[in-house]
Amino acid sequence: MAESAMRHRLRSIIGGSTGNLVEWYDWYVYSAFTLYFAPVFFPQGDRTAQLLNAAAVFAVGFLMRPIGAWIMGVYSDRKGRKAGLTLSVALMCGGSLLIALSPGYDQIGWGAPALLVTARLMQGLSVGGEYGASATYLSEMAGRRRRGFFSSFQYVTLISGQLLALLVLLLLQAILPETELEAWGWRIPFVIGGALAVVVFYLRRGLAETESFKNAQAEGAGAPRSSGLALFKLYPRQALTVIALTAGGTLAFYAYSTYMQKFLVNTSGFSRETATAISAAALFVYMLIQPVAGALSDRIGRKPLMVGFGVLGVAFTWIIFTTLAKTSDPFAAFAIVLGALIIVTGYTSINAVVKAELFPAHIRALGVALPYALANTIFGGTAEYVALWFKQQGMESGFYWYVTAMIGLSLITYLRMRDTQKHSLIVED
């Protein structure tokens, strides 16, 4: 029976993770191909200005994430984690296909960036719901002794999605001339993402529901219900803790990962192809590290890993960016980028389970999703835009200090909070 239960648990975790991979592939394809499609959707100008416009649309997608987190967090708490996961991937599919089929600025003028904004709003709504549902699903499906390990696969699949986006970019760079990639080739990855999302939609309909949700539902009509008001009225400390612990972590993650590709091109002076290869290689190693760190948290607790990220992030962020800015050797650049990603692993590998362990089952998906989405919108979604703004103002190092300061603020939260491994509200084994 125990072996059968483990197989069931693994099938569910793999099923949920596969869908998460496709969701994040669709989300990150936008960032990976920005250098190519920005001139299609925006008027001609200097490269930094076009990237600023595209980054602003990227940030707009983040504005919908709190709304998606709120609506679908409540939906997942009331209708089930499986229902939330299925709805989120349907929205992502629609957004990807809209980008793939949208005409450019030369055809319909400002209608082109308007369609791009609409698609990113749909994707932002989707990702806002996806995070809470998938983080909750994976944390609840995992057993007590391996909860850190299995929940880390949320970021494994998140990174896999980002990596897959970069690999598709590398493949298209290899087989298509640059002119064709800029003209129409950038549409291919969005078509792929939309098609994969359709497949995942049907896969997710067959997922098993978690025991935590079943037990919460079994309490009947008198049981407390999930709502935005209930979250901040009854669980204000937990909600604020999620916001505070997320702020520095999500900013560091986006600074070290999605923005890094642009930084390598726009500041370090690498070609787009070399920058893509460096980012892809570093992200691959980073992906492999996540379960290791998650398993470590099951042995020593969640708090030491988060504190480690905070201390190292404060100490080395400025050094990482200033050194990388002057680096021309691709292997040295790879080592520096990987070092930054190893530092942020202390946050990314366990942040999902830490948040899930803070809330009771009836409001867990919303509690994980909404405060995270608020912090992610303010700090993660604006990371590229803020970085490019500092660069355009001629004070690029200001961004390095900004990231350092936010990690420092999150570090204070890590030091003051209880270790959720020892005080978890996920009661089912």
**For residue 373, which phi and psi values (nearest 5 degrees)?**
-65, -40
* Residue 375, CB-side half-sphere exposure with 13 Å CA sphere: 27
- Is 82 inside a domain boundary? yes
- 140-151: pLDDT as tens digits: 877 777 888 988
Listed in sequence order, the residues at least 6 apart from 49 whose beta carbon sits closer than 8 Å to its beta carbon are none
Higher pLDDT, 47 or 37: 37
Predicted local confidence at residue 201, as pLDDT: 85
> Sign of torsion, CA 303 70 161 204?
positive
Asked if the model's pLDDT at residue 13 lies above 80, the reply is no
Which residues does 391 contact at the CB level (< 8 Å), separation at least 6? 48, 266, 267, 399
pLDDT the model gives residue 244? 95
CATH code at 356?
1.20.1250.20
Nearest CA among 100, 115, 14, 105 for reference residue 57: 115
CA contacts within 13 A on the Cβ side of 323:
15
423 in a structural domain: no
Structural domain for 369, as ranges: 2-217+224-416
pLDDT in tens, 282-313: 989 999 999 999 999 999 999 999 999 999 99
* Domain membership flag for residue 377: yes
pLDDT digits (tens, 9 = 90+) for 349-393: 999 899 999 999 889 999 999 999 899 888 987 888 899 899 888
In one letter, which amino acid is 113?
A: P
- Per-residue pLDDT at 295: 94
217 close to 83: Cβ distance less than 8 angstroms: no
Q: Into how many domains does the chain fold?
A: 1
By the 8 A CB rule, do 207 and 85 touch? Answer: yes
Q: In this structure, is residue 166 part of a structural domain? A: yes
Q: Identify the pLDDT of residue 119.
A: 87
Q: pLDDT-based confidence at 82, cuts 50/70/90?
A: confident
pLDDT of residue 350: 92
In a domain, 421, yes or no: no
296 vs 183, residue with greater confidence: 296
Residue 428 within a domain: no
Distance separating the N- and C-terminal Cα atoms of the chain? 15
Of residues 7 and 147, more confidently modeled: 147
Q: Which two tokens stand for residue 157?
A: 């699949």
Instruction: Assess if residue 11 is contained within a domain.
Output: yes
In a domain, 14, yes or no: yes
